Structure formats: C-alpha cells, structure tokens
Structure 1
C-alpha cells in the first residue's frame, strides 16, 4: 500500500491541520492584549511592536535553513519539535514576570513556528498527489484562518473573563499534547503500516547537491524571487497588522471595547476562511495560477490604500468591507506554494518554500515595529493621524506583491501532464 493511495493519509491531513490551527491561533492572539501588556509591563507601543517582530524575525530567519534540512532529513521530526517548542514558548509567555521573559517566550514560539508551514507543505506533498495538493493547500490555509478566528471573539471573551494568563497557559498545554499526537501519527503508526516505503523510495545512488549550489541557484532564480515578493506583500501585511495593531485600531479609532474590536479581525478572518477553499477550487480548475493571484494582489493593494485615503478612519461599514477584502486576499498566500510546487523539483520544494515564506514573515517582522514607531511619532497628534501614516506601510508592502505577481513565469501544461506529475 502506497502513502498517496492509502486512507491513512486523511488521518495525517487532519492531525497536521489541527496542530496548524492551534499554532496560528497563538500567532495572532497576543494582539488581543497589546494594550494590557503596555499597562502591565509599562512598555511603549514601539516595544510591543518589537515584541511581535522578534517572533516573526525568528520565524523568517529560520525558513531557508529549515527548508534545506527538511529536504534532506524529512519533515516529520521538524514539525513535531516545532509544535512542542511552540507550546513550551506559549506556557512561558503565560507565566512571564517581566518584558525580558516575554521576549524569550516569543522567540521560542517564533523558532517553533518556523518549522511548521514548510514541513506541512512537504508532508502534504508526500502523502497526496499533485491534483489533490493544490486543493488541500486551500484547506490548510482555511485551518490557519480558523485558528486566527479562535484568537478573536472567543479568545477575547476568555481573556475578559479570566485574565490573559490562563488562556495562554491552556493553549500552550494543548500545543504540547498536539506535538505528542503528531509523533504517533507521523512516526509510530506509519512505521507499522508502511514498513518498506522508506527503503524503496530512497534514492540509493544519486549524490546530493551541495547546499551552496542549491542556495546559489535559488537566489539567482527569478521565479524564486517572484514567490518571495508575492508572499512578502500578500501574507506579511495581513499577519503583521492583525497580530499587533488590528485590535488597538478598533479601540482607538472607533472607541470599541477589546471584545468588540476583535470582531473587526473576525470579519477579516471570515474572508480568509471562505477565501481559502474558493481560491484553491477556482485555481485548480484553471490552467494558470498567475492570473488569479495577480488579480487578488491588486485587491489587497487597493484595500490598504483606501485606509490611507480615508485618513486612517474610514466609515465603520467600509472598514468591515476592507477587513473582509484583505482577509480574503491573504487566503491566496497558498498559491505561492502551488507556484513553487509546479516550478521546482521535489528535492528543492522545501528550500524554495522556505525562501518564499521568509518573504511573508520579513514583512510581518517589519510592519508591527514600523507601525508602532509611526504611532509613537504622532503620539501628540489626533489618533487617526498616526494610523493614517501607518497604513502607508502595508500600502507599500502590498504593491511589492503586485510586482512579484508580474514577475511570475508560468509554464502552461495540459491537464494530462499535470495529472501525471
């Protein structure tokens, strides 16, 4: 029995997506307590932005090394260790007594998180055929959006009822248990079901290329840079904003409570939840990914530009529409990895996926910190002024994604060749 034809692959799919669901919730949940952290630890907006950025800095800095190592050593161990480290970091975060422990905990979370998406992509590549892969990437994105949705109204209500420490402690414990589950699902059980797969699938005589050769080819390939720039603008702007300044935006601009402000994020996440399967389904029925992706990139760019043109304070109903639009657009981030899968050999998918993913999270590193500095700079001005000029950052970043979309080169394949790939 082969992996790609076995019913067990759906257990793998469900277990991996459940872990990703929990992990993404902790990627954005700290944004719910931005103001609370500033009060409890007596820190500025810029420090909070740096706190968010350090998590994404660790994530982005490790993407390429983990991609290369995963191509060589396999993705299972990295996914398991990443999940456990994410859980332990969240537990430490919940018990922090000062800002230095906060920084350490977010560094742990970012390091663990760095091992998740690239290895999720590789695991799906191993267990599913290409025809299934593009569709399932959309559902993986949907699982991530549901995790972010958990970190809006439900998590906010929990925080309001019990304080912020208990919810984060509980989430950390759940992530540790999820890591243990992954060890059983990805390592123990497959050894029993597919005893001879690893031996028969391993290339016995093919010499591996040097890492330096792979890296040189990667950084000199237009297609690799196109995916990097696409992800920089599509994912980084959305993740960076909702993970740090989305809730404060609702509280400062519309004078909403924390729970009510988290509903703004919920609108965006609903857009992402519905966008993921719609975009993947629509794309899987077409010969081209580029046209769909480029159109969505323009929508994202225009949405952020509208925030700026309305001086940082659009009418509330328009903000709802814009959050939905940016959320829907972020769901197209999975197309970055569909392009990688179609453009590069399997032996390089991990490394190129890591490189592309680095783009998204460099953006997510820069945006919270820069946005926080802009808000601090305009501290004495009307509050919307700081947000207005802050929105220039995602405007610029999303325009970079448009450039990346234009750079994408796509080989036209007939359906028969795609199915046989």
Structure 2
C-alpha cells in the first residue's frame, strides 16, 4: 500500500498521538481541583466521586460498541468527532455554574474519550506496515501514561497561573483544534495524496455475531479471572489518582496542590516503568501467571499498609508506596498477554474488551464509594478517619484482583511476549 511507504504517515502518527496525549490528560485532570469544586459548588464528597466516576463509566460502556462501529464505518470519522466532543466537554466543564452541568460535561468528555483507543489503533494499522505497527503501538500505549503525567505538576502549575476555569477552557479549545487538524490529516490531505485509496478501514472478513461471542465469553472462567485481574489492578490506581489523591495529600499531610500532584507524578513514573519491565520479566521466565501473582501480592500489601497505618503512613514512605502502586499498575499489560495466549484470534478482541471493562468498572466504583465513606465520617467531624476507612476499598478491590490471578490459567510454554496495555 502506497501510503504505508509515504513520509506523510509520520504526520498522521504525530497528530494522532498529540491528540491522544491531550485527551488522556483530561481523564484525571479534574482530580487536581476537587477541593475547589467542593467549595465553589458546595457539593459533597460523594458528588465529587460521582463526577470522577462518570467519564470512566461512559468509557467502559462504549468500548465494545465503538469497536463494532469503527470496524463497519471506518475509524477516521469517530476519532475526529471524539476529539471535538472531548474538547467541548472540557470547555463546558470550565464554564459550569451548576453541578448538573459539571456532570453533563463529564459525560460528553467520556463520549469523546471512548473513541480514542480503538480508532487510533485501526488508523495506525492503515498507515504503517505490520513490523512498524508492532513497535509503534508500544509508544502509543505509553502516550496514555504521559497524558496522566501532563495532568499532574504541569497542569497544576497552569491552574495556579490561570485559575482552574481558564486552564480547562484553554485545553478544551486546543482539543477542538486537534479535531480540525485530524480532519485535514486523516481525510482531506489523504484524498489529495492517495486518490485511488480509501482513507477508512474496510471490513475484510465476516465475523461471528457479537451476541454469540459475548455469551461464550461470559460463560468462560478464564475471562472472569482476567476480568478480576484487571478489576483489582487498574481501578485502584486510576480511580484513586483521578479523584482523591491530591485532596488526600492536602488534607492528611498539609501539602500544597503542586506537592500533592507530585505524588501522582511519582506513581505515573512507576507506571511508565512497570509495563516494559513486566513484559521483559514475563518473557525471560516464559510465564505470565507467577510474576503476575507477585505483582498482585505487592499491590495488596501496598494498599493494606496505607490502611493499617490509619491512612497516614510516614511521609518518607509515601512516595515509595505511590511508586510501587504505579509500578504494579503498569504490569496490567500482562492481562492482555494472557488474553492473547489463551483465547483464539477471533475471540481475542472481545476477551480483551471484557477484561478491560473489569479494570474501568473498578475505576468507576472506587471514587464514588470512597467519597461516600468520606461523607459519612465528615458528618462526625473526622475527615482523618474518613480517609483511614476509605482505604479499605482499594484493599478489597486488590484482593479481588489476587483471586483473579490465582484462578487464571496459562499455557505451559509462553511465546515471546510484547505486552501492550490498552489506554
């Protein structure tokens, strides 16, 4: 295919990844202003938890439908619309005057965010040869974590300089401009350069009905084991840093917003290291289950140590705990390595979506449940106890993940794995 040899494919790659970087940053950026939202809108911690959960809820529910739509109609249109929807949702968030508008803004942002991964992978598969694609998809996956990094200290500084409304307004505007850029790069320019080629992905094979595949997956013990693996490792990290990590540092340790966001930064550095490290160890040992069990035990011990120290471990230990939790989160790539190893090719996509649903379901539940615990104890005037007992939620979630990995099956011989985490 001619466009897979063109220099223009790198323009496509850069444009798509820059858009993904900005879109992924808006998953956790609202967690930086939790205290300001509670003061400005006079809302409870449970309401803030609901706001933090809503984007993940929408994202989770649309993964399989988005894959079907992209496969049928092509990925370009949906990625463009997704960038614009994320931008409009972010702009609406910055202009909100009522908590209902905040909720609606997060729903719109979630609709846009749900388009990014599936469509981005399909677009890159059009523009790059298989060998190039294998290398670049790893870079693409890491861009999501870099987006989380962008939503820590850099975005905190922007909030302190401009105020939270102006910071979100400028980001939303930039995302809308990215949508226009993608239209030019993905549709308009390719029509001029490649007149005889389609710019969208054409379905090449007939697939089994989704309802049949879903029924079979839902009856599969391995699928549920991987669902629980992802439930215990993803939501405990993404759900917490996207909602309560910054107010936790500010409330329990008297940190400034920038200092508290540095804790998230440390965790995200761990996540960036965790994915390739877990893949390398798994490949060297030629197994998935045993190293993944170790990862889940570590994550259970980390959350348990925070809970057992009454939510207030020594300040010198806190950065290490965040780093270890982030490192374990990066190892969630092993979930998809296990999917590829134990499911047929025709079922691997839906099995991956099923497992990924578990991860983001926990990311939906944790902020809201944590907020309800804080509200309960805040009524008695003890926010410290609220954080203490709130940490029992990630402990329980991570224990469920440990159950999942213990019941997971794997083949005796593991081919060399290039593990890529979906975000």
Equivalence for 1:255? 254
Equivalence for 1:91? 91
Equivalence for 1:240? 239
Instruction: Indicate the RMSD between aligned Cα atoms, in angstroms.
Output: 3.0
Give the CA deviation at 1:296.
2.0
The correspondence of residues 263-274 of structure 1 with structure 2, limited to 5 A, is 263-274=262-273
The correspondence of residues 101-120 of structure 1 with structure 2, limited to 5 A, is 101-120=101-120
What is the CA deviation profile of residues 185-243 of structure 1, one whole-angstrom value per residue up to 9, with x for unaligned ones? 4445555459458899753xx54422321221222233332332222121111111011
The correspondence of residues 272-283 of structure 1 with structure 2, limited to 5 A, is 272-283=271-282
Q: TM-score normalised to the size of structure 2?
A: 0.87
What is the CA deviation profile of residues 164-199 of structure 1, one whole-angstrom value per residue up to 9, with x for unaligned ones? 011101111121222233334444555545945889
Equivalence for 2:390? 390
Distance 1:409 1:311, change over 3 A: same
What is the CA deviation profile of residues 285-344 of structure 1, one whole-angstrom value per residue up to 9, with x for unaligned ones? 664344443332222221111111111000011111010111111112333334434544
The correspondence of residues 355-370 of structure 1 with structure 2, limited to 5 A, is 355-370=354-369
Give the match's secondary structure for 2:266. Answer: helix
Equivalence for 1:151? 151
User: 1:66 touches 1:351 (CA, 8 Å); kept in 2?
Assistant: no
* Range that drifts further, 178-187 or 340-349: 340-349
* Range that drifts further, 40-49 or 3-12: 3-12
Matches of 1:184 and 1:343, distance apart in 2: 41
* Range that drifts further, 160-169 or 70-79: 70-79
Query: Can you give the 5+ residue segments of structure 1 that lack an aligned partner in the other structure?
Result: none
Matches of 2:110 and 2:8, distance apart in 1: 30
Equivalence for 1:376? 375
Matches of 2:331 and 2:128, distance apart in 1: 20
The correspondence of residues 4-403 of structure 1 with structure 2, limited to 5 A, is 10-123=10-123, 136-188=136-188, 192-193=193-194, 195-196=196-197, 202-203=203-204, 207-283=206-282, 287-344=286-343, 347-379=346-378, 380=380, 382-403=382-403
What is the CA deviation profile of residues 327-380 of structure 1, one whole-angstrom value per residue up to 9, with x for unaligned ones? 111112333334434544555544333322221211111100000011111112
Give the match's secondary structure for 2:255. Answer: coil
Query: Can you give the 5+ residue segments of structure 2 that lack an aligned partner in the other structure?
Result: none
Equivalence for 2:410? 410
Distance 1:176 1:209, change over 3 A: same
* Range that drifts further, 320-329 or 215-224: 215-224
Distance 1:414 1:274, change over 3 A: closer
User: 1:60 touches 1:358 (CA, 8 Å); kept in 2?
Assistant: yes
User: 1:142 touches 1:277 (CA, 8 Å); kept in 2?
Assistant: no
Distance 1:135 1:314, change over 3 A: farther
What is the CA deviation profile of residues 110-140 of structure 1, one whole-angstrom value per residue up to 9, with x for unaligned ones? 1111222333444556666777767655433
User: 2:272 touches 2:330 (CA, 8 Å); kept in 1?
Assistant: yes
User: 1:141 touches 1:276 (CA, 8 Å); kept in 2?
Assistant: no
Aligned residues: 415
* Range that drifts further, 250-259 or 380-389: 380-389
